[in-house]
Every structure is written in C-alpha cells, then in structure tokens.
Amino acid sequence: MSTTAVSAPQSYRVPLIATAAIVLGALLIGVVFGANKGLLMIVGGLFGMVLYHAAFGFTSAWRVLITDRRGRGLRAQMVMLAIAVVLFFPALGAGSLFGNEVSGFVAPIGISVLVGAFLFGLGMQLGGGCASGTLFTAGGGNARMIITLVFFIVGSVIGTAHFAWWQSLPAFQPVSLVDVAGSSGGIAISLVLFAAIAAFTVVMEKGRHGQLEKAPQVEKHGYQRWLTGPWPLIAGAVGLALLNFATLALAGRPWGITSAFALWGAKGFELVGGDVSQWGYWQSPGNATALASSVWGDVTTVMNVGIMLGALAAASLAGRFAPNFNIPLRSLLAAVIGGILLGYGARLAFGCNIGAYFSGIASGSLHGWVWLVAAFAGNMLGVKLRPLFFAGEAGKKPAAKTC
C-alpha cells in the first residue's frame, strides 16, 4: 500500500496534539517506570517521523528488486546496517555503553527461524508492510494497514501458543560475529557482506536498465522539506541506525517491535476469559513478568505507541493524513491473511524485519542473516501471489516508494 495519499490541507493542530501526547506520555512513563522508558517514547516518536518522511519501507524495497531489479531501497538498507554494526559491535563487545550494561538480539538458527521468516516474508507482500511499515503507515492514517495490524496481533498470539513446539525442533546454538571474530573482525566481515549485496543489486539493476535509478526530484527545500517531507532515502537509513543505537543505550538492548504485539494480544485474550499463562512462550521469566505487569512498563509497547504518534504527526505535517475506508474485499482479505502470517512468523523466527533482520544483524547474530534469506524467499512467493488480491498488479511496475 502506498504511503503517499492525496494531499490534504496542511494543519498544525494534529501534529501538535500528537507531539504533545508523545511528550506527556514520556513524562508520565518516566515518572512511573523510569526516565529511560520515558525517553524511549520520544525515541519511538522520532522513529515514526523518520520512517514516514523517508518512506523507508522494507517490503517495497524488496518487491521492487524482485519485480523490476531496482535496488536503491535495498542499498539504503545496507547503509543502515553498516552504520549500525560500526556503532553496535564495540559496545556489545565491551558489554556496556555509557556505563550501562547492553546485550544484543542473538538467537538460535533452526527450523523455526527458517519457517517463521519465510511466512513473515510472504505476509509482508500480502499484508502490504513489515512490522515497522505496518506501524508507521497505520499511524499515518492508512486504514487498510490498521486491519493488517489487528491480525498481526492475532497471529502473534497464535504464534505464542505454538512457540514451545517449534522450539523443540532441531536448531543450532546462537552464534554472534562479535564473539567469534571480535568487534573489529565482525565489523570487517559485515561490511564486506553489505558491500557484496549492494554490488549485486547494482549489477542486476544496470543489467536490466543500463543505469541506476535516480532519487526523485523534490520541489521542497530547506526546513520545509525536513518538516513536511519527503526526506532522502539515505537520510532515513542514517536516522534509523542512530535511533537504534539510542535504543541500545537507553533500553540496554536493540530496537524490537513484535513482542509487544504478542503481549497486547495475550492481554486482550485474557480480558475475554482466556488463559495464556500455561503456554511455553509465557513461562520464560521475561515474558511471564511482562504478562503480569502493566503494558506501559513494556519498553517495546512504549516505543510502538511513540512510532504511531510520530507517524501521525509526520503524515499530518505532510498533508497526507486522509484515511480511506473504501477497501476492496480482496485487498481486505490479503490484509487479514498477511497480518496473521506476519504475527505468526515473527514469533517463530525470534523477531521481524526489525528485531531479527535489522537489530539481529546489528547484534552480530547469524540468525539475522538466515532470517534475511528465508524472508526474501517468502517475499518472492508473496510477489507472485499479489495479483490474486490486488487488481491490476499483474504486469504492472511497482512504485518506488510504497509501504
């Protein structure tokens, strides 16, 4: 789904309300749950602004590469990852950052990761977005993506119900490049891999088009462009990497999104009389504590709310907050199926395009690289299935910037 809607008259009322909600929420959460959690709501708001104004979509970048051999979006992701590993690896190697203990997202590599990432990749193309894309487009007023988000949560809860079984299947122990090669060695290996992927997209793109795609020309300049967008894609890459590093400093671990969806769904299920406490996923100490505590004490929840409010402010500043509830039935069905696949896949694979791919690779985890390959395969199938749900897509070139 496109993040670019028909422009509405610009108003500062909604952005001011959204910004005030972020600041007030940060203050209240800071007082009750600690200053760092309050600051993380502000970081979440900034994530929402960056994602929306830069239209930084993982789903569209992969779809454009698959269908049209355009690699500008994937190259921007490699820049984002390169900055992240340069910042993350020394801190993770030392085990502390600014005097605070930090750790990365390092997970086992097994059948559950392969299956989960593949399902997530398939869900990306049917649902119309990834985890970050679903949040920022829903926050920006995309009504269809709200449907995807609702069923993303449903799929997440189902995934927690089956989590213990999937984890009983064969898997290798977690492996971190930081542990295996050290900070410097891990950075060198990672940068070579990023450069190789970027070079591969250049070869593919030039092979089909003869030259690389140029960034769209924008009439806005100076402060107006930075306030209302659109931002250069590379600015989004830099911004996301820096904000993820800020998350590491404040939360003691990298940016994640989907664990909150599982928590929201579990608490909602309990409100209607369900009981998830005996499910294996919720018996681990961290998840059990989150389930028994206030949802506002959960770092990921706080940041997700901040992302949606930040995207709301950005969409309103851009004059694009205009929800359209006229959703074709087949598109609606794709949102339901895609949302469930996204939520279920993320639980199996220890995260999404953020927690497993971005933050996993930034943590040096080899499971992040396995996730990338399996999820890309799922995207390839998803691209083939999209014409069944989206009228007129067969044989049509995708837009360069969609969610």
Q: Rounded to whole angstroms, how far apart are CA atoms 151 and 118?
A: 18
Evaluate if residue 5 carries a pLDDT over 60: no
Helix axes 72-94, 58-68, angle to 10 degrees: 130
pLDDT tens-digit series, residues 145-177? 999 999 999 999 999 999 999 999 999 999 999
Backbone angles phi, psi at 402, to 5 degrees: -130, 170
Rounded CA separation 152/101 (Å): 32
Taking the C-alpha atoms of residue 69 and residue 372, their distance in angstroms, rounded to an integer, is 18
Domain boundaries, the chain: 13-216+223-388
The answer to whether 243 and 255 are in contact (CB under 8 A) is: yes
Question: Of the given ranges (5-19, 38-52, 124-138), which has the lowest mean pLDDT?
Answer: 5-19
Three-state DSSP at 172 gives strand
pLDDT tens digits, 78-117 = 999 999 999 999 999 999 999 999 999 999 999 999 999 9
For the chain, what is the radius of gyration of the CA atoms? 20
Per-residue pLDDT at 314 exceeds 50: yes
How big is the chain, counted in residues?
A: 403
Average pLDDT, the chain: 92
Tens digit of each residue's pLDDT (9 = 90 or more) over 128-147: 999 999 999 999 889 999 99
Most confident range (mean pLDDT) of 11-25, 317-331, 339-353 is 339-353
- Is omega for the bond preceding 9 within 30 degrees of 0, making it cis? no
Q: State if pTM tops 0.75.
A: yes
Mean per-residue pLDDT, 265-272: 96
**Which burial class, exposed, middle or buried, applies to 204 when counting CB atoms under 10 A from its CB (0-12, 13-18, 19+)?**
middle
